[in-house]
Structure 1
């Protein structure tokens, strides 16, 4: 067993998380907590489960070739137990309330106010657990004119400004708004939710006070505009789509080579000077037009044309080797298979393998932060729907087999 797969107590081993979320943003947050040691129980609808269990192909297959959950589900649901409860039924809602009474954290991503009719909103659960940390993840937040709207990543990428700066300019072939190739608004929000939860945990440890966290995809996306929003808020510059160009740094883009493409990213004048020297044109670095980054931005097109001509004479790997030798940041554009075959990715142990109880094996991506004292651990493969219902209701609520059997018969679990 790889050291990264050996179960450890984890920094969050003292926390219980009741996860009522599904799809990506909420599950991403709870997986982060689980990787760091928290006990996470994922509540799913009986017979149906998280929507992403069916978001394929590709699908997992067991040792006998039977089709199972979609690969998508496996990306954000390891280190969790799956419990099936129909909380639209009063008995099911009561089970969830009792579980919340013994939880440290509740995470949900229903529409604003959607859980109140089941008595599972913050105010109701706070009444049974005053120290509860309750995190709500929604598209637009708990307040404001859009609070009632459903929010999906693609929609938020557009409304949150990201698609206005992603893609080629209108006048270029293929120009127009473009979404990012991964659901980054969901992922940003999941990460912000995890950070906010940990802040709330620290506050509770100091004061004994729980709290409600309102975490919105829209807010998270706007926050992630970073320098682009600063360009507008501070400088009055409306960011535009620049394709692979950088709005504030030149040269910093993709360039064609004789057999592919290479990224060159010069973050300062020294790197630019070394780039020019390595390409046999040292005088370009001292041309008044290109002497500073500000000048290179003004004369971006002229410089890009010159660099394109110089780099297109060489093969991609030769360019990467040459520029690495002189410490100019550069690299290829890898496919996903290229990424996992890369010697650095292998050295960092970015691919992990987990196995379900039935022997089904599936690969995943390691938790990216390395903690020297309390490293992330991978204790459970993404669960089969409802596999932990019996055990969890026993350990969390003290229900015996007969009680759980009655609940199954009534369609509650």
Structure 2
């Protein structure tokens, strides 16, 4: 696999990726999308995510799961056994002239391996060292749960978002995607980029500590805001949003659409479309708060009207008028011109075949130094020789440089 010329705002930045599963790899994939040279260090057995489906039919003898492929595009894979002195020594050599390290081992593992932030910062004072753990690292705060293992579902539960997700208080559910992982990834990227920017000015790196449960809490503003102001814990109300109405999934003649018209200007436009302009000044519905208090009547009126129209008719009537959209399935997304023109479904090759599959695209669109999905995720150890040869060449250059 040829990596080709690398462009993007992080071109020239080298990241040593000591992560597996989802939270860490998803973070480093975003850095790679923006041009960073991300060197993924894998144990001989490989990242556990390689064995998680969905799989392409050609991958039966060589697991290369779709989740792994999406979260590890644009990276180079090097196999090192960190249980050996040689493996640890090689990581330290790679870190010596890297810009950042990202890891998501359990608390204390990196310290026991001799790869703690403090030991690596002695080698490279400009190093930015980011960790992602369920409940953070003791360097960021002594959590009583620091030693607890965590998965996405635990982070969603303890971070609060599960308490408001579901049809009612008796049926609380996790958000369908791995939000506990990916939210932490986003904050890890934010912290890493901020620390890299600061290091350019100060010449000094620092430790970036991200807890999965903290990241979920930061996205649970409904829980925090309501309890902080009222002392009452909000409960699940389905697809509605506390304080806003109408704001829900509403029925159509042949399905459902998502509709939000909670503010006066939007409500007036919806009333006009329903030919019910009288509702705009009705005291029950005249203010945003009044519509929330009388939401049962609001939804009764809206549902009666939307149920008389097909989904396509409602999109034609209200699309671009008030916030409204169909509930897209995978099939819908792959046919939607928005995602095509926004390059949100780029394709990469499936190794060992002539097929190509889509991965998620780069979200931030930079006008001058755009990121890109340049190549597929690597095979296990695909770049070991390449990276170690580069390391040897740098050693030779450094040893021969005048002192």
TM above 0.5, one fold?
A: yes
Give the aligned partner of residue 347 of structure 2: 353
The 3-state SS of whatever aligns with 2:284 is: coil
Q: Of the candidates 44, 49, 55, which is equivalent to residue 46 of structure 2?
A: 49
Give the aligned partner of residue 366 of structure 1: 361
Q: CA deviation at 1:399?
A: 9.7
Q: CA deviation at 1:65?
A: 7.9
Are the counterparts in 2 of residues 134 and 213 from structure 1 also a CA contact under 8 Å? Answer: yes
Quick one: structure 1 residues 246 and 232, their matched pair in 2 at CA, closer, same or farther if it must change by over 3 Å? same
Give the aligned partner of residue 337 of structure 2: 343
Cα distance between partner residues in 2 of 1:284 and 1:379: 53
Quick one: structure 1 residues 49 and 67, their matched pair in 2 at CA, closer, same or farther if it must change by over 3 Å? closer
Are the counterparts in 1 of residues 161 and 223 from structure 2 also a CA contact under 8 Å? Answer: no
Larger mean Cα displacement after TM superposition, 34-43 or 344-353? 344-353
Write out per-residue CA displacement over residues 329-354 of structure 1, whole angstroms, 9 at most, x where no aligned residue: 11111111211211222222211112
Are the counterparts in 1 of residues 7 and 371 from structure 2 also a CA contact under 8 Å? Answer: no
Give the aligned partner of residue 129 of structure 1: 124
Q: Of the candidates 27, 33, 36, which is equivalent to residue 25 of structure 2?
A: 27
Q: CA deviation at 1:60?
A: 2.8
Write out per-residue CA displacement over residues 240-276 of structure 1, whole angstroms, 9 at most, x where no aligned residue: 1010111021101011111100111014101111111
Q: CA deviation at 1:231?
A: 2.0
The 3-state SS of whatever aligns with 1:264 is: strand
Write out per-residue CA displacement over residues 34-81 of structure 1, whole angstroms, 9 at most, x where no aligned residue: 0000000000011x111110012x21344x985531111112100100
Cα distance between partner residues in 2 of 1:232 and 1:345: 37
Q: CA deviation at 1:380?
A: 2.4
The 3-state SS of whatever aligns with 1:86 is: coil
Cα distance between partner residues in 1 of 2:99 and 2:362: 22
Give the aligned partner of residue 152 of structure 2: 153
Larger mean Cα displacement after TM superposition, 160-169 or 352-361? 352-361
The 3-state SS of whatever aligns with 1:81 is: strand
Q: CA deviation at 1:398?
A: 3.9
Cα distance between partner residues in 2 of 1:16 and 1:189: 21
Quick one: structure 1 residues 41 and 150, their matched pair in 2 at CA, closer, same or farther if it must change by over 3 Å? same
Give the aligned partner of residue 404 of structure 1: none
Alignment of 1:260-409 (within 5 A): 260-324=255-319, 327-355=321-349, 358-359=352-353, 361-398=356-393
Write out per-residue CA displacement over residues 182-233 of structure 1, whole angstroms, 9 at most, x where no aligned residue: 0012111101101101110111100001111111101111111124312221
Quick one: structure 1 residues 8 and 39, their matched pair in 2 at CA, closer, same or farther if it must change by over 3 Å? closer
The 3-state SS of whatever aligns with 1:148 is: coil
The 3-state SS of whatever aligns with 1:59 is: coil
Are the counterparts in 2 of residues 135 and 213 from structure 1 also a CA contact under 8 Å? Answer: yes
Larger mean Cα displacement after TM superposition, 104-113 or 298-307? 298-307
Are the counterparts in 2 of residues 8 and 377 from structure 1 also a CA contact under 8 Å? Answer: no
Cα distance between partner residues in 1 of 2:191 and 2:24: 13
Cα distance between partner residues in 1 of 2:245 and 2:232: 17
Cα distance between partner residues in 2 of 1:98 and 1:397: 10
TM-score (normalizing by structure 1): 0.90
CA-based RMSD of the aligned residues comes to 1.9
Alignment of 1:119-198 (within 5 A): 119-142=114-137, 143-170=142-169, 175-198=170-193
Q: Does 1:105 align with 2:121?
A: no
Give the aligned partner of residue 400 of structure 2: none
Write out per-residue CA displacement over residues 1-27 of structure 1, whole angstroms, 9 at most, x where no aligned residue: xxxx98542111121000000111111
Quick one: structure 1 residues 291 and 365, their matched pair in 2 at CA, closer, same or farther if it must change by over 3 Å? same
Give the aligned partner of residue 71 of structure 2: 76
Cα distance between partner residues in 1 of 2:241 and 2:4: 42
Question: Using CA pairs below 8 Å that are at least 6 residues apart, which structure has the higher relative contact order?
Answer: 1
The 3-state SS of whatever aligns with 2:280 is: helix
Write out per-residue CA displacement over residues 89-110 of structure 1, whole angstroms, 9 at most, x where no aligned residue: 1111111111111211010000
Q: CA deviation at 1:357?
A: 6.3
Cα distance between partner residues in 2 of 1:228 and 1:6: 46
Cα distance between partner residues in 1 of 2:231 and 2:346: 46
TM-score (normalizing by structure 2): 0.92
Are the counterparts in 1 of residues 17 and 103 from structure 2 also a CA contact under 8 Å? Answer: yes
Larger mean Cα displacement after TM superposition, 83-92 or 277-286? 277-286
Cα distance between partner residues in 2 of 1:329 and 1:182: 23
Unaligned 5+ residue runs, structure 2?
396-403
The 3-state SS of whatever aligns with 2:109 is: coil
Quick one: structure 1 residues 357 and 156, their matched pair in 2 at CA, closer, same or farther if it must change by over 3 Å? closer
